[in-house]
Amino acid sequence: MTTTSSLLELRGITKRFGQLVADDHVDLQVTEGEIHALVGENGAGKTTLMNMVFGLVHPDEGEILLRGAPVTIRSPLAAARHGIGMVHQHFKLVPSLSAAENIFLGREPGSGPMLHGPQAIRQAAELAERYGLTIDPAARVRFLSVGQQQRVEILKALSYDAQLLILDEPTAVLTPQETEELIQVVHELRTRGKTVIFITHKLNEVRAVADRFSVMRDGKRIATVETGEATEADIARMMVGREVLFRVTKPDVVPGRTLLEVTGLSGLRVDGTEAVRNVSLGVCAGEIVGVAGVEGNGQSELAEFICGLRPPTAGRIAIDGREVTRANVVEHRRAGLAFVAEDRMDRGVSGAMSVSENLAGTHYSDPGIAPHGIVSPGRLRRWARGLIRRFDIRNATPATPVQALSGGNIQKVVLARELSTEPKVLLAAQPSRGLDVGATESVHRTLIEQRSQGRAILLISSELSEVLSLSDRILVMYGGRVVHETPASAATDEGLGLYMMGLRSDEAGEAA
């Protein structure tokens, strides 16, 4: 920490949404020049609290002070005038515009309504160089990686001369390498006099990035602690209110027959480039096969091919002996496949629809819900309540809009819908992405339970610890190929990392 003066102070901040108290008389102090982590489970009130600081929502009670003076922040523009910027978990960028155009959107350099493109690009490049954030200011945002898009968001906030930068779950969609780069950027911002609030639920990030951290639980601030005085186990205990198991216990299961078989699969990305090349794998009943790899190496496309979202160009896919290579999604489901998509808000649920409507997405023809082919609202509600109880979907009723739930509970909705079909094969892509330690533990427990019930589970994850913890066998993908296969019991972080970076390959014996 470079100074000891208070930059931001919250006193008794309370926010209610109907009967839900999102933040309950929260006091918080952030020192000028520090990196302050705000941690807690999904739904603990972290983002709502910072949205009030940024002017997106307004407190029902309490006051906000900047450098000791009370302020009323009625909008994000007012927050910017006070030197506050915020980068949201879901980016607020226009994909068809360039990085420079996004950075200066609404404040375009030039005369009148016309944008002076070269001037915007020059100013964006100068801003990027000033803060050490490498981007191509002329590139269209839709062609940038997720990490590069995040840099555009950070530069957009800094272009307002933000002194306090709020980063909301900034690593939720980043690769491990991009996460390391972001942490370096945050430390560099601090050396340049910026104050950063880093919202996260990843315990290792708290220790890697923060000077101090404050823990939120059930809308209250539980504690503020110097980072060096707490272990990851301490942080998890404060977040969840109990001891957390960091490694799951898998009961012994004898694998059964092969339920998912992929042979010689190849396919293209949307842009026509090769994504998957000659991939073969099998998953047996009662087995979890993990696919590890840095994102962008064909894992997402492999999932799309296996679940029928897009046809491969070559190879064969069979579910319990039934070939579905060229079949559509419905036929894959009828063959016994369930799919947990990597982007739960984009492909997993419809946010504006209710919990019951989302749960029923694969069941509208079931006689128990739709006798005589017509959905019975009463039967749908009763059926949904049963799944809400069974999967412990918290703060939910059948009528609750899914977008009102925390990320962990939204993922429970997805799992409840998919597993209620009693599938033979479960394809789980990034099942714990963006989830806190408690929600992740719940998802992992569910996957282990399904393994014990004889499901064949293909787990695709960029979280190496997740793959190592859950899998019976591990495949590593690099450059669209499977470059390594090993029993999980024989795998190590360091060894798998070499294959993930393309520095080793079972096929080539050397760097791929």
Closest CA to 240 of 440, 392, 397: 440
**Lowest-confidence pick of 120-124, 275-279, 338-342, 379-383:** 120-124
For residue 307, give Cα distances in angstroms to 113, 118, 328, 339, 413.
Answer: 47, 45, 8, 7, 19
The model's pTM: 0.68
- Compute the distance between CA of residue 137 and CA of residue 331 in angstroms, rounded to an integer: 44
Would you place residue 351 in the very low, low, confident or very high pLDDT band (cuts 50, 70, 90)? confident
Would you place residue 175 in the very low, low, confident or very high pLDDT band (cuts 50, 70, 90)? low
**Lowest-confidence pick of 51-65, 315-329, 493-507:** 493-507
Is a pLDDT exceeding 50 seen at residue 2? no
**3-state SS record for 393-422:** CCCCCCCCEHHHCCHHHHHHHHHHHHHCCC
Is a pLDDT exceeding 70 seen at residue 257? yes
Tens digits of per-residue pLDDT, 221-244? 999 999 999 988 888 888 877 765
- Compute the distance between CA of residue 340 and CA of residue 448 in angstroms, rounded to an integer: 15
Residues 258-500: name the CATH superfamily. Answer: P-loop containing nucleotide triphosphate hydrolases (3.40.50.300)
Strand partners, 478: 481
Q: At what angle do helices 377-390 and 407-419 cross, to 10 degrees?
A: 110
Q: Report the helix count and the strand count for the chain, using DSSP H and E.
A: 16, 20
Residue 16's pLDDT is what? 92
Residue 3's pLDDT is what? 44
Domain boundaries, the chain: 6-240, 258-500
Task: Collapse the DSSP code of 426 into the 3-class scheme (helix H, G, I; strand E, B; otherwise coil) and give the result.
Answer: strand
For residue 223, the Cα-to-chain-centroid distance in whole angstroms is 25
Is a pLDDT exceeding 50 seen at residue 398? yes
Tens digits of per-residue pLDDT, 178-187? 778 889 989 9
Is a pLDDT exceeding 60 seen at residue 114? no
Q: Report the CATH architecture of 6-240.
A: 3-Layer(aba) Sandwich (3.40)
Residue 498's pLDDT is what? 84
What mean pLDDT comes out for the span 388-398? 89
State the residue for tokens 């101090």: 212
**Lowest-confidence pick of 368-372, 419-423, 432-436, 501-505:** 432-436
Q: Do domains 6-240 and 258-500 have the same CATH topology?
A: yes
Residue 109's pLDDT is what? 67
- Compute the distance between CA of residue 167 and CA of residue 96 in angstroms, rounded to an integer: 24
Is a pLDDT exceeding 80 seen at residue 390? yes
- Compute the distance between CA of residue 113 and CA of residue 510 in angstroms, rounded to an integer: 56
- Compute the distance between CA of residue 314 and CA of residue 320 in angstroms, rounded to an integer: 20
- Compute the distance between CA of residue 473 and CA of residue 483 in angstroms, rounded to an integer: 14
Would you place residue 1 in the very low, low, confident or very high pLDDT band (cuts 50, 70, 90)? very low
Residue 18's pLDDT is what? 85
- Compute the distance between CA of residue 82 and CA of residue 41 in angstroms, rounded to an integer: 29
- Compute the distance between CA of residue 201 and CA of residue 256 in angstroms, rounded to an integer: 37
- Compute the distance between CA of residue 163 and CA of residue 53 in angstroms, rounded to an integer: 13
Closest CA to 349 of 268, 416, 423: 416
Residue 142's pLDDT is what? 84
**Lowest-confidence pick of 7-21, 108-122, 284-298, 469-483:** 108-122
CB 103 within 8 A of CB 127: yes
Strand partners, 484: 476
Residue 176's pLDDT is what? 64
What mean pLDDT comes out for the span 411-432? 93
Tell me the two tokens of residue 120: 């915007």
Q: In terms of C-beta density within 10 A (0-12 exposed, 13-18 middle, 19 or more buried), how is residue 366 classed? A: middle
**Lowest-confidence pick of 106-120, 392-406, 460-474:** 106-120
> How many degrees, rounded to 5, is the angle at CA 43 between CA 14 and CA 92?
90
Residue 511's pLDDT is what? 44
Closest CA to 155 of 211, 196, 103, 78: 103
Tell me the two tokens of residue 31: 């020192």
Half-sphere exposure of 271 (CA within 13 A, CB side): 4
Residue 244's pLDDT is what? 59
Would you place residue 4 in the very low, low, confident or very high pLDDT band (cuts 50, 70, 90)? low
Higher-pLDDT residue of 163, 131: 163
CB-based contacts of 489, cutoff 8 Å, min separation 6: none
Is a pLDDT exceeding 80 seen at residue 89? no
Task: Collapse the DSSP code of 212 into the 3-class scheme (helix H, G, I; strand E, B; otherwise coil) and give the result.
Answer: strand
Share of the chain above pLDDT 90, in %: 54
Higher-pLDDT residue of 455, 242: 455
Residue 132's pLDDT is what? 81
Residue 131's pLDDT is what? 84
State the residue for tokens 């001369």: 161
Tens digits of per-residue pLDDT, 68-88? 999 999 999 999 999 999 988
- Average confidence score pLDDT of the chain: 88
Residue 413's pLDDT is what? 93
